[in-house]
Structure 1
Amino acid sequence: MSSEPAHSTSLGGTRTLVGLGRLLWEVIRKQFTVMFRYRVNFAINVATMYVFFAIVFFGGQAVVGGIGGSPQSLDSTLNGVIVGWFLWTMAQGAYSGLSGNITQESQWGTLEQLYMSPFGFGRVMLLKAASNVIQSMAIGGVILVLMLVTTGRTLSVDLLTIAPVVIASLLSVVGIGFVFAGLALIYKRIGAVSNLMQFAMVGLVGAPTADVPALRLLPLVQGSALLQQSMRRGIRLWEFSAEELSVLLGVGVGYLVCGYVVFKYCSRVARRRGVMGHY
């Protein structure tokens, strides 16, 4: 008799995992369906990020040429700019996606339906965050190809190293995204404040960890440093020290957990105030 409850618990856990897997697939499918349905807007967003990089690249060449320098003098920094822009592009999407999801669901009038999901509102939003990361990495890959073709540069692209480093790096900005998503539940329109983080992320991606090691505890900083080493110097994942990887994962998980806790608190506040489905 004692084995029957254990068997039921195991079966229930398996069904939950299967259900979450199906839900994740549906969330991803919906996200990419919306992206391709509004493909003109998607193409403009990608083109905008690429054009900004092209302005920096060609503008830098023009400035160097104007002062009598050689374009080759940019070689030492150009690879770093490409890698940084690659990470910033993905971080921007992963960070802003959650608050955008909240705003979008509020406009569609489906936010309260998500809250009543049998999987729980928190789990649904975690899966949406995972979908945002996948979408951001796909867009980042497109931008990376465009940058390499434009500049004629060659970087080490080892997916077994880049993918884990990028995912761990984006966990921290997803945590910040949860904070702003929680604020969006309560205050609805927070775009002006949220956009400020995009400029802050530029500084985080380019932070000098060699000069100030404590900066590694900030979002993106450690991930950016490891990604630079991997893509510019060809260092593999297993060649990083245990300390470097521990800081990367610890910072990512720490910010994610803290951000999720804030989001859960904000969702309770929104429910208590009766503004969950309002826009």
Structure 2
Amino acid sequence: MLLLWTMLRMKVLLMIRYRVDFVAQIITMYLFFVVLFFGGRAAVGSIGGGGTGVIGDTLDAIIVGWFLWTMAVSSYSSLSSEVTQESRWGTLEQLFMSPHGFGVVLTTKVVVNVLTSLLMGGIMLSLMIVTTGRTLTIDLLSVVPVVILTLMTTIGLGYVFAGLTLIYKKISSVRQIAQFGLVGLIAAPAVDVPLLRVLPLVQGSAMLQETMRDGVRFWQFPMPEIGVLVVTALVYWAAGYVLFMFCSRVARRRGVMAHY
């Protein structure tokens, strides 16, 4: 708990220290959403002939999807960014010598990143609801479990990018390109193509849409759907962690762990 509190405190201090960058990131995402939402409303209105129900469902889907995308980007990119930052500061090797063990330190960082992602998601959701005037069901007992399990799949991707960062040091361009892939996964037609549910974000996105738009409680979902959500979360998280540890061994073998 002391390690978690220390890292959480450090994260908050860094956010305060670089508050301009943090605020700019939120504003940028918010402005993109405003363009997408009002542009989408105009497009759907013209195509749908003014059908209020169709327009409302589509716009609600945009809000929920953007809410999830905001948190997914934060959770998967933050780990790689922190590895780059630790390399730049020259403190990366100290994490491997920590008495807590590198695995514990890394897992704690992941927990802190998830909390930060939830904070950013909450801020964005509040701004979106105020801006659009839409009403969504925000049952924390249902939304939080779905979101956390969904983000575990993107955390697995974050492990992979963090591992590649250890070896190749600067892959920010690749990471930014991957953000567009997250949009496709969130918008994937899981109902029409059930096999897509095994991909990152897909199952969680479908369940979050039902939870926030239709008011479906977490325990009201069929057990197979919950099972897919849990299994994909664990598989992607574990696979990402294993690949990260493999990349860390490669980086140490090549002697580039502390290089930047």
**Per the shorter chain, which TM-score range?**
over 0.9
Are 2:214 and 1:214 aligned? no
**Quick one: which of 172, 183, 187 aligns to 2:164?**
183
In structure 2, the partner of 1:22 is: 2
CA–CA distance in 1 between the matches of 2:48 and 2:192?
31
Are 2:131 and 1:150 aligned? yes
TM-align CA RMSD? 1.5
Letter in 2 for 1:49: M
User: What secondary structure does 1:199 align onto?
Assistant: helix
Indicate if the aligned counterparts of 2:40 and 2:59 stay in contact, CA closer than 8 A.
no
Distance 1:62 1:46, change over 3 A: same
Q: Which moved more, 1:71-80 or 1:249-258?
A: 71-80
Match runs of 1:13-92 below 5 Å: 21-63=1-43, 69-70=49-50, 72=52, 74-92=55-73
Match runs of 1:1-279 below 5 Å: 21-63=1-43, 69-70=49-50, 72=52, 74-279=55-260
Letter in 2 for 1:185: L
Provide Cα deviations, 1:138-167, integer angstroms capped at 9, x if missing partner: 100000011111110000000000000000
Deviation at 1:61, TM superposition (A): 3.7
CA–CA distance in 1 between the matches of 2:83 and 2:77?
10
Deviation at 1:67, TM superposition (A): 7.7
Q: Provide TM-score, normalisation by structure 1.
A: 0.89
CA–CA distance in 2 between the matches of 1:68 and 1:153?
19
Provide Cα deviations, 1:16-56, integer angstroms capped at 9, x if missing partner: xxxxx211111111111101111111000000000000011
Number of residue pairs matched?
259
Letter in 1 for 2:108: L
Deviation at 1:278, TM superposition (A): 0.7
Q: Which structure's CA Rg is the greater one? A: 1
Provide Cα deviations, 1:235-262, integer angstroms capped at 9, x if missing partner: 1111011111110010011000000000
CA–CA distance in 1 between the matches of 2:171 and 2:36?
29
Indicate if the aligned counterparts of 1:61 and 1:71 stay in contact, CA closer than 8 A.
no
Report the identity percentage. Answer: 56
CA–CA distance in 2 between the matches of 1:117 and 1:168?
28
